[in-house]
Each structure stands twice: as C-alpha cells, then as structure tokens.
Structure 1
C-alpha cells in the first residue's frame, strides 16, 4: 500500500464528506479526498460534480488502495464496512462514534485492526475536553456528566417529540435524564457526542447524560463536567451548525479534518 496523502477515501458522501472535501482542497495541506464509497442507489448525480472516483463496495474500496479511509456514512457502515477495511490493512477514521455503544462492536473492530496491523481512530466530534478525560482516567474518575442543549426544533424526529409539544415550550426543558448507554440508544442522532465522552471517560453505564430543549437558544450547547483524583473539570461549548447542513455541527466536521491532518503529520503536536 502506497502512503499517498492524496489517496484518501470516504465512506458516504453527504454534507459532512462534501464539506470535508471542499475544506481540504482550500487548505495548503496537500491532502485530498480522491474517492468515495457510495452504492449506486444512494447517488443523486451531485457527487459527479466533485471529480472523485466513485466506488460501490468494500472490495472496490480496498482495491483502490487508499492510504486512509474516513467513515462518514452512519452506524451501519461501521458495522458492515469498517471491519473489512481494517482487516485489509487500511487505517480508518470513524466519524459515527455513537455506533461504538453497540455491544461487541468495539471488540470486533479491535480484532480486525489487530489482524490487519492497521489503526482506527475516532474523531472528537462536536465536543471538547476528551484529552482531559483520557488523561484523568489514568488516575481515576469518580464522576462524568454531559448536558446537551438544543433548540426544540432540533429534537424533532426523536422520542422527545412524542413526549413533549416541542413547538409550545417556553422554557428550557429536560427531555432526557439517564445514562450515556440509554441516551445513545434513544437519541442516536446525539449518540456521537455521548459516546465520545463515555469512551474517553468512565463508560456508557456510568456517564450521566441530561438533554434539554431550550426555546431561547439558537445553537447547540455541550457541557462536560468531571471529577476524580486529578481534581475537577468543566467545559462548555456553543457550536454553530455546518453552513451546508444545519443538523451537523461545524466543529464536528472540523474535528474530522483535524484527524486526517494529524494522521499524516510526522510530528504530532
């Protein structure tokens, strides 16, 4: 396999992947996405405008011999495609971190990477402070909690829409209070953030999650708090949406680009 920084492939070609492709082309990193795994039934013609190679299967992707694959297609792709790519010896950046809440998947991916002598990393996504959690975990964490707040309309299509009249809310309202495991299962669109925190810290069953709908807010707000032998930690982020897709955090897209850049750096700072 040739370690060519221009032989980067993505799985999926939605708003996240398209934003990533455009941002890399604007940068001076010399990195470029050259191919996308996108089955024929999911193509709408717009991907042809980006002048990239289109692939239809994991076998075609592996035969293209990418130096790095970036998964941008959702939980199912992590289950069905990423193990084969890792076992073929290709490094992967996973964007759909929430999939790792599924029982047994992380162990399966680790075994695939071991067999292929490859490496899988996860993008930090829309939330920060994960480096602090990973470091603090070494000495021992006592408590980790995450509070996610979004405008009521952002919770449409989730269990919150059935339990609350989202359009009539007049104050910040708790729509979920429980563990990261339950939050990832009930609110899969928010699972990437909760999974990232749980994996960096004390796990899905011990991480506390509160989700709220705030009619006074126009952005997504993430608050992470932790305590342990190291002391106490708190961070709050107010994220703007991706310009091309208001349902996706801009910071999440930027974190994927940063993961790619770091992968090809000789010195990681």
Structure 2
C-alpha cells in the first residue's frame, strides 16, 4: 500500500510479540520499519526489526504509530505514554477501556496532544452502521459471543459445567458490556468494541460456550425505529490461541495502514 505524502519508511511500534503480535509483524509490508516492545528479543523477530526493551526505548525509537497487541495490562501501562507524545495507538486490548478512569484519562490525553486511540473492528464489523443507528435514542444492541467449549475450558471447569458444555450450550455471562469486559478482559474485546460504537448503556452481552459451533462466532442485532439489522461473523480461531480470532491481526494492520492513506 502506498503511504500518501511520505518520503521515508513508515515506522510502526509493536507492543507484544505473542500470537497476535507475530501475525501483525508478518502482515506488515516489507517497506515498514518495525520496532517491537517485548520482554526479551525472540529468535523469530523479523529481519530488520528492532527489539525494544521498554516503553522509554519505544518512544525514543520514534514510531509514527503504535500497535498494541499484548494485553489489557500492557495497554494500560504503555498506551497513555505513547498518546502523551502525540503518537496514535491502534489497540487490540480494548477490553481495558471497561475501566472508566483509564478511558477518561486517555480521552483527556488525546484532547491535549491531538493523538488518537484507534479502535479497530477486530473480530466483528458494521461499526459504522451501529454508531449511526445509535444516534437514535431508542436503538438497542444485543451482542452474543459463541465459542467452542475448548476456548472456555478453564472457566467451564471452575463452574463445574465441562460435561454440560459437551452436550449443549452453556451461558457464562449475560449482562452489560462493561462488566463482560471486566470479567473476561482478554476475550471480550469485541463486545467492548461494539459498546464503544453504540454506547455502554445500549449493549446487552451474552457469552456462550456452544459445542455446536466450530469457530468463534459473533452475533449482533441492532433494532429500533430506524430498522433492524442482524450481523453474524464466524471467524477461524488463531491456531496459537483459540480464544482469539485469526482475523484480529489483519484488522490491526488494516486499521494502522489506513491511517496513512489518502482515501479514508
């Protein structure tokens, strides 16, 4: 992809080099300069990429944009510093924003510096439609996350529902998006992404372990005076982490590159 108005390589900082981070690094164009913030320099770091030991090293490296692909904790620790330096952040761990104090802090920083926190679509889509429909006060949004029981093995065992989940669907949670993200900060990013588009009070969430599905499935129903929309996304799980959809890394890269395109 051609970066509009650029004479130098785009410098992308990447926070995290786990399953998603590795996929992101592989998907970025070869013309991109990559700096990876990771605890130790992995042997499979892409050729030409620079290993960065901490957030200070990342900022000193001078990225044009930062992709967070680590965890809610890493997001909370590093995103404010990047945004505070006027560097846009494209975040995978948007579940961290269930913390209203962190969200308010980030919004204040962005207002002060002109930086932007980019929330990519991730495992779902239709966010522009959801945001438009949500402008009407009577619009409601329901989101159901369905994943194979293997994706929730630890949670089902803790609930004593492992055997039940092998026979039929088991509901792990039903309630609002903020609490859902707080309970499952690594696995309910899609629900919070929808809530950020529609408003936290508009979205009801169900989390289901379902033996009838082989893939991570996201169901969204938007209804109100403007009409009714039903969206379903059936994603392949990441081979290294079945709780994460493989398309997540693609969404992060697409959102990052789009920031520098003339056509928005």
TM-score (structure 1 length as normaliser): 0.88
The aligned counterpart of 1:90 is: 87
The aligned counterpart of 1:135 is: 132
Q: Which runs of 5+ in 1 are unaligned?
A: none
Confirm whether residue 9 of structure 1 aligns to residue 13 of structure 2: yes
Deviation string, structure 1 residues 187-206 (Cα, Å, up to 9, x no partner): 22322011011111131x44
Sort the Cα spacing of 1:215 and 1:80 in 2 relative to 1 into closer, same or farther, 3 A: same
Matched residues in 2 for 1:65 and 1:184: separation?
32
1:262 corresponds to which of 247, 258, 261:
258
Sort the Cα spacing of 1:14 and 1:178 in 2 relative to 1 into closer, same or farther, 3 A: same
Aligned length: 258
Instruction: Map 1:56-71; keep pairs closer than 5 Å.
Output: 56-71=53-68
Confirm whether residue 246 of structure 1 aligns to residue 226 of structure 2: no
Confirm whether residue 162 of structure 1 aligns to residue 158 of structure 2: yes
TM-score (structure 2 length as normaliser): 0.90
Instruction: Map 1:20-169; keep pairs closer than 5 Å.
Output: 20-25=24-29, 31-40=31-40, 43=41, 45-48=42-45, 50-158=47-155, 160-168=156-164, 169=166
Q: Is the 8 A contact 2:151 2:242 kept in 1?
A: no
Shift of 1:23: 1.6
Q: Which runs of 5+ in 2 are unaligned?
A: 1-5
Q: Over aligned residues, Cα RMSD in angstroms?
A: 2.0
Confirm whether residue 214 of structure 1 aligns to residue 218 of structure 2: no
Deviation string, structure 1 residues 194-225 (Cα, Å, up to 9, x no partner): 1011111131x442111111112211111001
Matched residues in 1 for 2:129 and 2:11: separation?
32
The aligned counterpart of 2:194 is: 197
Q: Is the 8 A contact 1:20 1:253 kept in 2?
A: yes
Deviation string, structure 1 residues 2-39 (Cα, Å, up to 9, x no partner): 984431110111111111111224xxxx6525111113
